[in-house]
């Protein structure tokens, strides 16, 4: 077996989120002396500045690919490539193709379902043949949601000897802000939806399960009153990617949740008239598309990231009406403070803990499972609980 030059390469390391991932891995690698890693991007000057500013050891190698052939050479040198360079539908395709060709594992932060489906169609069979494990959406979209559903279904199997037929994910609390990179990805996806075929795919909860279409799903696109919680809930901006990811996980796990599984995802806005008004305002909001929204490279301050948090409840119902509840909480800004830790641990989990996962195009739950949940509890400030 040929030894690769690096266990892990972080591509896009000088971008906003890439810097956070690099900073986190610098701390983690101090406790893991055997980890051979490098940072990569299109500008050596920016990589050198990032390495110096963050305090990454000067011995940490820099990799500067530019043309598609250089990406192939970079992929061939690594066991795992972690990419934070987006929007992925604009700049990510060649890197995924290079990893598939080289049999190199890959993780990213993608929340662009139209591009993920394109990659599934183009590379799923090739990845299975080369042994490359491609795992999309390893940040706030979609790790807490994908693993939260898996954890609740695992408990339902223990308690009731069968899965929940329906799970409602409700974001009870969330404090954090978005970076310019996320805004750019959302805008790129919205622009892509000018294509009628892409717009239809984005509206389909089973867009990432080619060959399988499950039952009609509960509506989560308009404000709703949640009787069991006595609160109002609004459409949640991450639901279009998370819902598709959860259904793909179910398919890849052999329909562990059942072929008739129902899933929805919303943001809790509170009780009473004020909660209803806020839910209505969120449902009609256009804030992310404003001209003064953050630009690529911009994002929350270190203080804002540290003061952020989130709490998601998962309400499960069995076919015979029994109820079960779980939660996932994070101790930092969801999109950046927590996301940077989640994607780094996802890459390390794939590298260290899951040699049994075969080549293919995966989701966090199907590739890494509750092994990742345990790792996130140990290292990344997440908490998984049955309530």
184 near 191, Cβ under 8 Å?
Answer: no
CA dihedral (342, 347, 353, 359) positive or negative: positive
Please tell me the least confidently modeled range out of 89-98, 226-235, 289-298: 289-298
Please tell me the predicted confidence (pLDDT) of residue 1. Answer: 43
Please tell me the predicted confidence (pLDDT) of residue 324. Answer: 97
With b for 16 or more beta-carbon neighbours within 10 A and e for fewer, the 111-121 pattern comes to: bbbbbbbbbbe
Check pLDDT > 60 for residue 286. no
Q: What single-letter DSSP state applies at residue 288?
A: G
Please tell me the predicted confidence (pLDDT) of residue 196. Answer: 82
Percent of the chain with pLDDT over 70: 94
Question: Is the whole model's pTM more than 0.85, yes or no?
Answer: yes
Section 152-168 average pLDDT: 98
Please tell me the predicted confidence (pLDDT) of residue 208. Answer: 98
Give how far Cα 380 sits from Cα of 293, 337, 356, Å: 28, 10, 23
The pairing of beta strand 78-83 with beta strand 37-40: unpaired
- Alpha carbons 255 and 248: distance in angstroms, whole number: 9
SS (H, E, C) 169-195: EEEEEEECCCCHHHHHHHHHHHHHCCC
Average pLDDT over the chain, rounded to an integer: 92
**Helix H or strand E encompassing 272:** helix 272-283
Check pLDDT > 70 for residue 101. yes
- Alpha carbons 363 and 248: distance in angstroms, whole number: 7
Section 305-311 average pLDDT: 92
- Alpha carbons 367 and 252: distance in angstroms, whole number: 9
Among 55-59, 62-66, 88-92, 131-135, name the most confident range.
Answer: 131-135
More confident residue, 195 or 222: 222
Check pLDDT > 50 for residue 44. yes
**Biggest CA-to-CA distance, the chain:** 64
Nearest C-alpha neighbor of 347 from the set 383, 310, 375, 384: 375
- Alpha carbons 240 and 106: distance in angstroms, whole number: 22
pLDDT band at 192 (very low <50, low <70, confident <90, very high): confident
């Amino acid at each position: 077996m040929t030894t690769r030059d690096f266990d892990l390469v972080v591509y896009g390391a000088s971008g906003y989120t890439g810097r956070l991932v690099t900073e986190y891995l610098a701390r983690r690698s101090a406790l893991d002396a055997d980890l051979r890693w490098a940072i990569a991007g299109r500008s050596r000057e920016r990589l050198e500045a990032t390495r110096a500013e963050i305090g990454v050891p000067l011995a940490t190698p820099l990799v500067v690919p530019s043309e598609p052939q250089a990406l192939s050479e970079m992929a061939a040198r690594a066991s795992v490539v972690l990419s934070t360079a987006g929007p992925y539908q604009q700049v990510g395709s060649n890197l995924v193709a290079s990893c598939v060709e080289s049999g190199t594992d890959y993780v990213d932060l993608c929340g662009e379902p139209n591009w993920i489906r394109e990659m599934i169609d183009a590379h799923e069979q090739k990845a299975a043949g080369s042994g490359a494990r491609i795992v999309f959406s390893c940040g706030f979209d979609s790790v807490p949601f994908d693993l939260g559903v898996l954890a609740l279904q695992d408990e339902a199997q223990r308690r009731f000897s069968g899965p929940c037929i329906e799970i409602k994910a409700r974001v009870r609390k969330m404090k954090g802000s978005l970076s310019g990179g996320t805004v750019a990805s959302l805008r790129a996806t919205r622009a892509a939806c000018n294509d009628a075929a892409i717009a239809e795919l984005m509206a389909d909860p089973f867009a990432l399960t080619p060959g399988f279409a499950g039952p009609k799903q509960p509506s989560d696109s308009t404000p709703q009153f949640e009787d069991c919680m006595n609160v109002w809930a609004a459409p949640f901006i991450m639901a279009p990617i998370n819902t598709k990811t959860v259904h793909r996980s179910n398919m890849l796990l052999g329909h562990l949740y059942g072929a008739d599984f129902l899933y929805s995802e919303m943001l809790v806005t509170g009780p009473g008239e004020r909660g209803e008004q806020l839910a209505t305002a969120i449902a009609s909001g256009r804030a992310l598309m404003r001209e003064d929204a953050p630009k690529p490279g911009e994002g929350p301050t270190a203080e804002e990231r540290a003061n952020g948090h989130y709490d998601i409840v998962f309400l499960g119902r069995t076919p015979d009406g029994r109820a079960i509840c779980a939660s996932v909480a994070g101790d930092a800004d969801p999109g950046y403070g927590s996301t940077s830790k989640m994607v780094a641990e996802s890459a390390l989990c794939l590298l260290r803990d899951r040699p049994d996962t075969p080549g293919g195009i995966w989701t966090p739950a199907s590739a890494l499972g509750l092994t990742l949940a345990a790792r996130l509890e140990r290292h990344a400030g997440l908490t998984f609980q049955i309530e």
